[in-house]
A and B are shown apart, each in its own frame.
Chain A
Amino acid sequence: MRPSRPERGSARSRRCLRALPAAPLAALLLVSGCGGSSKSSAGTQASHGPKVTVLARSVPGVGQVLVTSSGYTLYMFQPDDRRTVTCTGVCTGTWPPLMLPSGGVAVAGPGIKSSLLGSDPDPAGGRVITYDGWPLYTYTGDVQPGQATGQGIDLNGGEWYVLRPSGAPLIPAP
């Protein structure tokens, strides 16, 4: 069963924040336009499809990091290992992936290198936007823009970190 997502961010970003891929996809995806893409990249900015912008912004406590167009902090999941989307099932209730809309594109906003944007297939369908190979997720604990409460959290089988515009995760020294 497909849940709806928390209301936050722009309409575009909201409809592309996917939850719980183990659930049936059809209803929400049909509504949201976030269906699977056959593209292996994030698409081109010349596309006329829906756009999802990733940008860099300074967030208190972590500095300059990747955020959504609405200002919600984006995270990487260590088990993804820059290769594949491994946050599936219940995990996505807490960490909604940033989905690439069907026929859409990921757009590099200020501070972001467009060459690092891409996408990976989601086991539940569709594609998750990546940056330097890292699938991108938001965190439900960030209840407003400009927070990074998920930084360094160990949950759902691995650790979660914000990403610098260079693509490097902000992993504290041991």
Chain B
Amino acid sequence: MTSAEPRNHRRVGRRAFLVGGGGLAAGAAGAGTAAWALTRPAPTAPDPAPAGVLPPDDDLMREHGVLKRLLLCYREMIRRVQAGGPLSAPDLHDAALIIHDYIEGFHEGLEEGYVFPRLRAAGQLTDIVTTLLVQHARGRVITQFLLAQASPAGVARAAARTRLAAAMQAFDRMYEPHEAREDTVVFPAFRQIVPAAELTDLGQHFAELERQQFGTDEFTAMVARVAGIEQALGIYDLSQFTPEVSGYAPS
């Protein structure tokens, strides 16, 4: 199996949902013409991106949104374990698998292949980039541990649940600031140093890479999976997070 092939049926992608057939065709064409963008000066008026194709930094931030929702799932599982409750092995496995396949196997590959090298070559944020790379590697170790232990037998003992909760907590504690720093510092810096025309091409290329890896029309299925985990954990209903403010109301 090549890495471009779906690893299993649960792997998911969303690009076709955003792009559609016309966008995919344009993405392929863009990938074939992008080499010049590395050497030519930025045009004053770049070609507009095809409808539905996101700029690469917007694309990466949307993927961060998926990660954020999964971190909230982890947080709820941690809360339950710390309260002495059960830990659902299927929910843990499903959340960790999406992180493994979609975040660590795809999203982070884009960052490592396209974003970080450009910043390093420009001499920008080099220390932060090194830290982010180390955190990617540490996160993969934690996810592999979670996947290996996410079975009925693996969560049966209280000590094992406590260890899993600690692993999720370490992952969550690392990725909250990790993705926030990327969104607010790293991606804006990347956007500053990459010419506008190349950003357009890169957005198209990201779309094509996602189509190659995950196929078409899978974004809604992936979001549904994340929502399904949230529903199982009782955290899907957004309104439950709205606080009462009567105690804070101006007098």
Q: Which residues of A contact B (CB under 8 A)?
A: 1-7, 19-20, 22-28, 79, 86-94, 139-143, 149-150, 153-158
Q: Is the CB of A23 within 8 A of B205?
A: yes
Contact among B31, B117, B126 for A19, CB-based, below 8 A: B117
CA distance A23 to B35 in the complex (A): 8
Q: How far is the CB of A25 from chain B (nearest CB, A)?
A: 7
The 17 listed contacts between A and B (C-beta, < 8 Å) are A1-B205, A3-B117, A4-B117, A6-B117, A20-B113, A22-B4, A22-B205, A22-B208, A24-B31, A24-B32, A89-B4, A89-B212, A89-B213, A93-B108, A94-B112, A141-B136, A143-B133
- Chain B residues with CB under 8 Å of A23's CB are 31, 34, 205
Given contacts A27-B38, A28-B38, A155-B105, contact A93 B137 (CB under 8 A): no
Q: How far is the CB of B217 from chain A (nearest CB, A)?
A: 19
Asked whether any CB of chain A lies closer than 8 Å to the CB of B240, the reply is no
Q: Is the CB of A86 within 8 A of B3?
A: yes
Starting from the known contacts A3-B118, A94-B109, 4 additional A-B residue pairs (CB-CB under 8 Å) come to A2-B34, A27-B35, A89-B209, A93-B109
Q: Is the CB of B3 within 8 A of A1?
A: no
Q: Is the CB of A93 within 8 A of B110?
A: yes
CA distance A155 to B80 in the complex (A): 29
Q: Is the CB of B110 within 8 A of A90?
A: yes
Asked whether any CB of chain A lies closer than 8 Å to the CB of B220, the reply is no
Q: Is the interface of A mostly helix, strand, loop or mixed?
A: loop
- Chain A residues with CB under 8 Å of B202's CB are 1
- Chain B residues with CB under 8 Å of A157's CB are 1-3, 5, 7, 105
Interface centre among B113, B126, B209 (most CB of A within 10 A): B113
Given contacts A7-B121, A86-B3, A153-B144, contact A93 B38 (CB under 8 A): no
Q: How far is the CB of A100 from chain B (nearest CB, A)?
A: 20
- Chain A residues with CB under 8 Å of B17's CB are none
Q: Is the CB of A156 within 8 A of B105?
A: yes
B1-32 near A? 1/0 per residue, CB < 8 Å = 11111010000000000000000000000111
Q: Is the CB of A155 within 8 A of B39?
A: no
Q: Across the two chains, which residue of chain B brings its CB closest to A24?
A: B35
Asked whether any CB of chain A lies closer than 8 Å to the CB of B189, the reply is no
Q: Across the two chains, which residue of chain B brings its CB closest to A147?
A: B137
Contact among B104, B106, B201 for A1, CB-based, below 8 A: B201
Asked whether any CB of chain A lies closer than 8 Å to the CB of B225, the reply is no
